[in-house]
Chains A and B, each alone.
Chain A
Amino acid sequence: MNYLTRRLVTFPLIMLGVSVLVFVAIRMVPGDAITAMLGTEAGLLTPDQRKALAGYFGIDRSWTAQYWHWLLGALQGDLGLSVTNGKPVLDVILSRFPLTIELALLAVVIALCIGLPLGVFAATRNQKPSDLAVRIFAMLGQSTPSFVIGLLILYILSSVFGILPTMGSAVSLFEDPIGNLKQLILPALTLGFSFTASVTRISRSAMLDVLNDDYVRTARSKGVPALQVIWRHALPNALIPVVTLSGVEFGYLLGGAVLVEKIYALPGLGRLALDAILQRDYALVQGCVLFVALNFMIVNLLVDLAYAALDPRIRLGGR
């Protein structure tokens, strides 16, 4: 069976598994579900109120029945109500989502635009001083947590330049694109820093591998000029591992957004999830986790499509 069809077939199955896991995880919170939902205020309820609430939320039914009820709701976009602000979970998520996805995409663009050329350059200078410099940069970049970078940037900005980036509320991309970019460029650099380092490392080593391949020798034996050997023959092959890595790293970016949004006080999805955990707003936690997992899976599916576009062996299958 074709690789892509297999991915497409398993996609809904894995999503179903993810939803079961999230559902079960939240049901495993110690204490009963009413307390879990209402927090300390649940202590004020009379037994009758409790019973009524249990009936209202459907939690007096069996777990499987509850799961079906919840899943059917989720499929129609009903992820329940957020206890902390009384709004539908989905609405809250959708209002925070654009900022996080923009942040992550910016980080990806930065990482690919810097990391890829840098890695290819280092590979062609294998073992020379410039290669060593790139490798040291990449090693340091991969070892520095985003929140350390973020704090350092803030420290330098405030103590050396005496300025602070816009914090708090989000500047809309459509109303004020320049203001939006100004607001997000530093967080995106912070978030994309270690990703840039890994793209550099992977593209360097992939390129080194590919440059030793037989077909590169063939290209040289045909008299293909050195630059074309790299860009036209080697790079399309070296891109394959870089693309695979990008899918995995995107997950780290979505997670890393939690930290970066906290440092820069940005109202994104990561902060939302963090606050929901701290405030025990379980419906919101559930919604956030499910939503981000879905997005991560869609990105990985896109990565697989890109993978197939790059590699005819995947696209067309065997002989």
Chain B
Amino acid sequence: MADLLRGLLRHPSGRIGGAIVALYIIVAVLAHLGVTPYDPIQQFRIDRLKPPSGAHWMGTDMFGRDVLSRLMVGIGQSFLVAFASVGISAVIGTALGLTAAWFGHLWDGVVMRLMDILLAFPAVLLALLIIAVIGPGTGTSVMAIAFVYTPIFTRVVRGPALSIKSRDFVDAARTFGSSRVYILTRHLMLNLVAPLTVQVTLALAWSLLTEAGLSFLGLGTQPPASSLGLMLSESGNLMEMAPWLLVFPGIAIMLGILGFNLLGDALRDILDPKTRSALA
């Protein structure tokens, strides 16, 4: 763990990505604790559509709400959805992929064909179908994104699990008579931590993007709650008059995704020795 941190600090994209992600996590936690400059849904009627100033660092929107406060809450909301959905899909996907690789035969066939079916849908479309069924909302977003990412985690785990399963150290463990549980946890899982960490980080980036997209379409977080995608969609008609409504949430989304992408890349370089040689 300490090695990993040191590696990240030495890696240029690891440093930048790590710093961005850390900053965002702090902001998200503050937002969930209610520590924002203003109440994000409080409307200052006289201060409508004010450009950035000392009082409102990022200006105000058409209802006179403080953009910075709404942005912070939006980041908190996006992170909640991202972590929840990736957490769910990582756990389910890992369990499915691991058991598919270990038991093989019929179970492997059933699981992987099911995943093939889910993968036959373009990701956003699958999410839309789920939202169509359950109706929009935060919980639906979490479920929809989790649904989309589960087959990907299943594949990401199954491939390496199959190759680790055929490695000599697993054969050695069998010759000792080690129990299934021991082999699955100590030999397979422990070696899957690295690819999973990378995948989780990249999935978080994608999930932030999807959440923003769904909210932008009006199918994710519902007003008056705040979310980055929602703020962008509300800015659409006002962008000539109030470009700050477009610029700040736009940059916030981009930077957040960039942070996780950079971190994921750095983790891949550090944890996966195969590609390590190709980089500095």
Contacts and interface: CB of A to CB of B under 8 A. Distances in A.
Contacts of B257: 143-145
B171 interface: no
B120 A152 contact: no
Chain A: interface secondary structure? helix
B140 to A, nearest CB: 11
A10 B218 CA distance: 36
Nearest to B16: A139
Contact of A292 (B125, B205, B217, B219): B125
Interface residues of A, number: 57
A9 interface: no
A205 B123 CA distance: 25
Contact of B261 (A25, A143, A212, A293): A143
Contact of A21 (B13, B117, B265): B117
A209 B275 CA distance: 8
Given A255-B123, A293-B125, A29 B133 contact: yes
Interface in B84-131: 113-114, 116-118, 120-125, 127-131
A298 to B, nearest CB: 11
Nearest to B114: A17
A98 interface: no
* 4 cross-chain pairs, A with B, having the tightest CB-CB distances, nearest first: A255-B124, A251-B122, A17-B117, A143-B258
Interface of B: 13, 113-114, 116-118, 120-125, 127-133, 135, 205, 209, 212-213, 216-219, 229, 232, 235-236, 239-240, 243, 246, 250, 253-255, 257-258, 261-262, 265, 275, 277-278, 280
Given A15-B120, A250-B122, A278-B218, 12 more contacts: A143-B261, A144-B254, A145-B253, A152-B250, A154-B239, A155-B246, A158-B240, A252-B122, A256-B124, A258-B128, A258-B217, A276-B132
Interface of A: 10, 13-15, 17-18, 21-22, 25-26, 28-30, 126-127, 139-140, 142-145, 147-148, 151-152, 154-155, 158-159, 205, 208-209, 212, 250-256, 258-259, 262-263, 273-274, 276-278, 282, 285, 289, 292-293, 296-297, 300
23 contacts: A14-B117, A18-B117, A21-B118, A29-B133, A126-B278, A140-B258, A143-B257, A143-B261, A145-B213, A148-B253, A151-B239, A155-B243, A251-B122, A252-B123, A255-B123, A255-B125, A256-B124, A262-B216, A273-B125, A274-B217, A274-B219, A282-B132, A289-B121
